[in-house]
Amino acid sequence: MNQITIATRESALALWQANFIRDRLMEAHPGLEVNLLGMTTKGDQWLSAPLKEIGGKGLFIKELEVAMLEGRADLAVHSVKDLPAFLPEGFSLPFIGFRDDVRDVLLGCPGGIDQLPQNAKVGSSSPRRQAQLLAHRPDLRVESIRGNVQTRLSKLDSGEFDAIVLAQAGLSRLGLNRDDAYPLAIEDCLPAPGQGALGVEILSDSPVAALLDKLLDRNVVRCVEAERGISAGLGADCALPVAAYAKANAEGEIYLQALVAESDGSAILRADGRGDNPQALAQSVLGKLLDQGAQTILDNARHD
């Protein structure tokens, strides 16, 4: 292949990610021409309700997948944390890599969560973040906030919220350095599966997979596979308070942490484990969570 097209959402962050992968592909394959196809998805258009109420993470990728099925694009670039645990039939995720800072960051209060005023209004549409914030500060009012990074920051700066929580990776990639930013320790706010990593989605039989091999970081792939094994095993999506983070040591052994929480933070179940095989490790940690009653918590969350 000497010419390919990337389907991308048109937010500043999505375009940064698409251009970043474009440049890496062209560096790895001199003479390859890579174009961008900008698109607006239903997830970008429907901002008045929490994502879990209007269809979940798939709303941000469906139009991109249709473009691939119709032959208008060859691949799509995503933040892995924004991908559903299972892709639609006919699609695959052959590339995961270029992982940035995995932490969440509190904006609006540089002193951290303990310095927020009593009953502060915090913007986040993530049940995972909400549960962990409320476990630490039950008095907080965590309310839904939608839109791209700039839209959310403008809502904070206008006084609509006392603070908001975003992914540090997105801020770093956009070059946004703010004096009111306070990165949350992983111990205080365990990330979403795949947070900070980029993923490339293609049709399962696409020859583009061969072009991506030179860009792979095997340890990032293995760690994110372990994390996504937790969300897949729990049938989790954006509506459920599930977190997972894995890191590999110099010998390649993976350490995986995961949690399942009540949405109000009243109960948080944690489990961890070490191993060499991402899938087996995920199953082991998943079993520990289920033994503690994770299924009941998730069933309650789905009912709510």
Which domain CATH number covers 165? Answer: 3.40.190.10
**pLDDT of 50-80, one tens digit each?**
555 544 455 668 999 999 999 999 999 999 9
DSSP collapsed to 3 states, the chain:
CCEEEEEEECCHHHHHHHHHHHHHHHHHCCCCEEEEEEECCHHHHCCCCCHHHHCCHHHHCHHHHHHHHCCCCCEEEEEHHHCCCCCCCCEEEEEEECCCCCCEEEECCCCCHHHCCCCCEEECCCHHHHHHHHHHCCCCEEECCCCCHHHHHHHHHCCCCCEEEEEHHHHHHCCCCCCCEEECCCCCCCCCCCCCCEEEEEECCCCHHHHHHHHCCHHHHHHHHHHHHHHHHHCCCCCCCEEEEEEECCCCCEEEEEEEECCCCCCEEEEEEEECCHHHHHHHHHHHHHHCCHHHHHHHHHHC
The catalytically annotated residue of 74, 82, 104, 237 is 82
Clarify whether residues 65 and 207 are in a common domain: yes
Clarify whether residues 202 and 59 are in a common domain: yes
Clarify whether residues 177 and 209 are in a common domain: no
**Mean pLDDT on 37-60:** 60
**Does the pLDDT of residue 300 top 90, yes or no?**
no
**Mean pLDDT on 125-143:** 96
222 inside domain: no
Q: Where in the sequence is the domain holding 234, given as residue range(s)?
A: 229-303
Could you give the percent of the chain with pLDDT greater than 70?
92
166 inside domain: yes
- Neighbouring residues of 62: CB distance < 8 A, sequence distance ≥ 6: 41, 42
* Amino acid 235: pLDDT: 87
Beta carbons of 259 and 236 less than 8 angstroms apart: no
Annotation says 82 is catalytic: yes
191 inside domain: no
Structural domain count of the chain: 3
* Amino acid 101: pLDDT: 97
| CATH code of the domain containing 256 | 3.30.160.40
Please give the structure tokens belonging to residue 289: 């969570």
**pLDDT of 86-129, one tens digit each?**
999 999 999 999 999 999 999 999 999 999 999 999 999 999 99
**Mean pLDDT on 273-297:** 97
- The verdict on pTM exceeding 0.85 is yes
**Does the pLDDT of residue 135 top 90, yes or no?**
yes
Please give the structure tokens belonging to residue 149: 């990074």
Clarify whether residues 88 and 201 are in a common domain: yes
**Mean pLDDT on 254-282:** 97
